[in-house]
Amino acid sequence: MPEHSSPDPKSCAGGSTAASAQSAGRAADSGGLTRRQLLRRAAVAGGALAFPYIVPGSALGKDGAVAPSERIVLGAIGIGSRGGSDLSWMLREPDVQFVAICDIRKSRREEVKHQADAKYGNTDCAMYRDPREFLAERTDVDAVLTATGDRWHALSSTLIMKSGKDVYSEKPGTITVAQGQALVATQQRYGRVYQGGMQRLSEANFTFANELLRTGRLGKIHTVRAHLAPWGNSMTSHNWLPAEPEPPKDEVDWNLWLGPCPWRPYNSAYVRGGWRDFYDFHTGNIGEWGSHTIAQCQVALGLGDTSPVEYEYPNNDTAEGMVARYANGVQLVLQLGGWHGSCGVRFEGTEGWVSVADGYRSPEVSSPALLADFGKLVRDYSAQYQRPMNHVRNFFDCIRTRHLTVANAEVAHRAMTACHAANICMWLKRSLKWDPVKEEFLNDSEANRLRSRAMREPWHM
């Protein structure tokens, strides 16, 4: 597999973890004392004053609890329905402490605060409206979950990494090729851990399909198929919704909601999720599920660090049946159907095929014999690459080891590059050729101009 997907990737920060780095900083600020030493000193001082001072065992890491100095301190930006699911998943991890929520909607800030305070039995979760204030003020935070709408994913991720924090970003990671390039450059320059929310890269059924391909059990691979979202189309609208009176900034900060996008009049439907299928805010039906399924195909093929070199226009508005080809000749086919579940992939080789989607009890295969080693293939993969079948756990483990995650910035960028190139092919209604090294279309200036979009001041990447 390519370097970014290997079990021994280059260290991003000299082997020290974010949590231990934060602990070291706190120790330095306290005259070289660790939190545990400070707690013990406080207990002794309390006894000398004849006042009982009881330190809970959980504060010292007893009874299976994780000591505060060893916890990964987590915050979040933009938590709606999908982000709420991610956060619930993360809060189950015993070494994670959630401390702050940043959201442009007051109702969401309060909802997440209530969730966190209920878990910890206190009222400590802080609330912020502006991500710049949150990132600058909370120097204690090691990692941030960002689950905003598509328009903010790349920008918030780069802001988070530039502030010295690691990031788990929901998909799609970018809305332009240029954003992906900036995302990768920022991750490399600042040595941060990035995990894209392509969680099927850490699920057993999908991992098994990948391993059937990777270990040669399907023979020579000639075709991979990626599921597209079966609603809307790739021809996203350049119109916008009619204006409504803006709410108070503290209730909904519309300017921050728009972020780097062109100014558009406020409409409450946008804030309730109605931004999909608008060019300003969305990557269309290709990016919606392709961010998952194309990533799955490319990682399985060992091509997570590149993208197809040809895109054939399918002469429709949905991208159904578009064929993209990699430099090695394998063809990627985009499909709206073919699975009885969401976000499906299918890999076809000279010796057989495998197909899987959400909700499958087990992958479908050309021969039952291919399923015989299901458990072994998944276990061997996890052992070889030190990756659990738990996407957020992979993120938190990599915060400690400083290894690259399974859905690192390069994987996210290259998968989204394929989505963006396919979109541009649809918009221009013609076939295109792509150079994945130079990251540009061949002999097509109009297509190349669509690799980036202007960003509204003061935002930039």
Q: Quick: pLDDT tens for 180-203.
A: 999 999 999 999 999 999 999 999
Q: pLDDT (tens digit, 9 = 90+) per residue, 389-441?
A: 999 999 999 999 999 999 999 999 999 999 999 999 999 999 999 999 999 99
The yes-or-no verdict on residue 35 having pLDDT over 60 is no
- Cα-flanking dihedrals φ and ψ of residue 295, to 5°? -60, -45
Q: pLDDT (tens digit, 9 = 90+) per residue, 207-224?
A: 999 999 999 999 999 999
Distance of alpha carbon 422 from alpha carbon 334, whole angstroms: 9
Distance of alpha carbon 254 from alpha carbon 265, whole angstroms: 9
Beta strands in 81-164 (DSSP E): 96-102, 126-128, 143-146
Q: Which domains does the chain have, with CATH numbers?
A: 202-234+282-391+410-449 (3.30.360)
The yes-or-no verdict on residue 15 having pLDDT over 70 is no
Nearest to 377 by CA among 391, 363, 366: 363
pLDDT band at 233 (very low <50, low <70, confident <90, very high): confident
Q: pLDDT (tens digit, 9 = 90+) per residue, 86-100?
A: 999 999 999 999 999
Distance of alpha carbon 262 from alpha carbon 455, whole angstroms: 7
Sheet holding 352-356, edge to edge: 364-365, 352-356, 345-349, 221-227, 331-335, 323-325, 310-312, 432-435, 440-441
Residue in the structure block whose two tokens are 């989505």: 419
Predicted pLDDT of residue 420: 98
Distance of alpha carbon 411 from alpha carbon 417, whole angstroms: 10
- The amino acid that residue 439 corresponds to is E
Nearest to 193 by CA among 174, 158, 168: 168
- For 241-329, where are the alpha helices, taking DSSP H only? 254-258, 268-269, 284-300
Q: Three-state SS across 160-180?
A: HHHCCCEEEECCCCCCCHHHH
Mean pLDDT of 49-78: 67
The predicted model scores a pTM of: 0.86
Beta-sheet pairing, 166-169 with 194-196: parallel
Mean pLDDT of 108-119: 97
Distance of alpha carbon 453 from alpha carbon 436, whole angstroms: 20
What three-state secondary structure class fits 377? helix
- Other CB atoms within 10 Å distance of the CB of residue 166: 30
Kindly report each contact of residues 455-458 with a partner whose C-beta sits within 8 Å and lies 24 or more positions away, as own/partner.
455/155, 455/260, 456/258, 456/259, 456/260, 456/261, 456/262, 456/263
Which of the two residues, 60 and 356, has the higher pLDDT score?
Answer: 356
Average pLDDT in the chain: 89
Q: pLDDT (tens digit, 9 = 90+) per residue, 342-375?
A: 999 999 999 999 999 999 999 999 999 999 999 9
Residue in the structure block whose two tokens are 């001072």: 53
pLDDT band at 64 (very low <50, low <70, confident <90, very high): low
The yes-or-no verdict on residue 108 having pLDDT over 60 is yes
